[in-house]
Structure 1
Amino acid sequence: MSLTLSLDFQYTTSIEKLWSALTDSSKLAKWVGNIHSGQAMDNDFKAVVGHQFQFRTQPTEWWDGIVDGEVLIVEEPNRLSYTWGSGGETHTVTWTLQDLGEGKVNLHLEQTGISNAQALNGAKYGWSKWCGELEKVLS
């Protein structure tokens, strides 16, 4: 059985700025971090289909600090999808951006392939925290 995480976030920004925050590796490093230590995660992300990338941070007793991924879909500025592999599991993360008008953008996250409720809750916690950090990068 596979579980899916689905979350929506609204930001006061332009769709172009939000797209850049999701696809520029230096901006990603500012909001995708180690949720335990708060340290940034180095990455070599590029929004190019087929590009293989890593996010790296200090390992902990529970985790090696590495996320491996491959870019699957790039439809600027509306959709981005990639694999997200860590801790023996590989999920698919898909971001859908929707311009709501009046300077508001909806960011929809769907993460599929999650094996159990504990992993689902961990993903929900992590992305919720990171998307709060994302708001700071956008302002």
Structure 2
Amino acid sequence: MSEASSETRSVVVERELPHPPQKVWRALTEPHLIDEWLMKTDFEPAAGRRFTLRGDWGSVDCRVLAVEPHRRLSYTWDAMGLESVVTWTLTPVGGGTRLVMEQSGFRADQQQAYQGAGFGWRRFFGSLEQLLARMGEDAQ
């Protein structure tokens, strides 16, 4: 299978979490909670809103593309030559939420960024799961 230069790949991470979608949504959209599991940010869940994620290694420029409360969140993720889109999808399942994160837009020549994102998102998901556990069940 040949890879055309216009083809892109995605990193997908999926988890079933023992928390309701409303609680998971809060962790994905409230800046003080995003700070705890992802990076420092000035995020607001409003389509068209620009925001920045700041880590030790640098920053990510983002713009909100879509907001469907408790269901779907999508934003651009531009950093170090990578122009991609991160989409979060929340689906209620018995006793919790299936959370899927897809980061799309990796070009064939961005193998290092692709592999780094796969590793990074798995780590971020671990931090997100720890945060959700700390938030307590009353945090809807």
TM-score, normalised by the number of residues in structure 1: 0.86
Letter in 2 for 1:125: F
Q: Which residues in structure 2 correspond to 1:22-101 (within 5 Å)?
A: 22-32=28-38, 41-59=39-57, 65-101=58-94
Q: 2:115 aligns with which of 116, 121, 127?
A: 121
Aligned residues: 125
Distance in structure 2 (CA, Å) of the matches to 1:106 and 1:20: 15
Letter in 2 for 1:71: V
Deviation at 1:3, TM superposition (A): 1.1
Confirm or deny that 1:104 pairs with 2:110.
Answer: no
Equivalent in the alignment of 1:133: 127
Equivalent in the alignment of 2:27: 21
Q: CA RMSD in A?
A: 1.0
Letter in 1 for 2:47: V
Distance in structure 2 (CA, Å) of the matches to 1:42 and 1:108: 22
Deviation at 1:117, TM superposition (A): 2.5
Unaligned 5+ runs, structure 2: 1-6, 134-140
Identity %: 38
Letter in 2 for 1:58: D
Letter in 1 for 2:120: G
TM-score, normalised by the number of residues in structure 2: 0.85
Unaligned 5+ runs, structure 1: 33-40, 60-64
Deviation at 1:82, TM superposition (A): 0.1
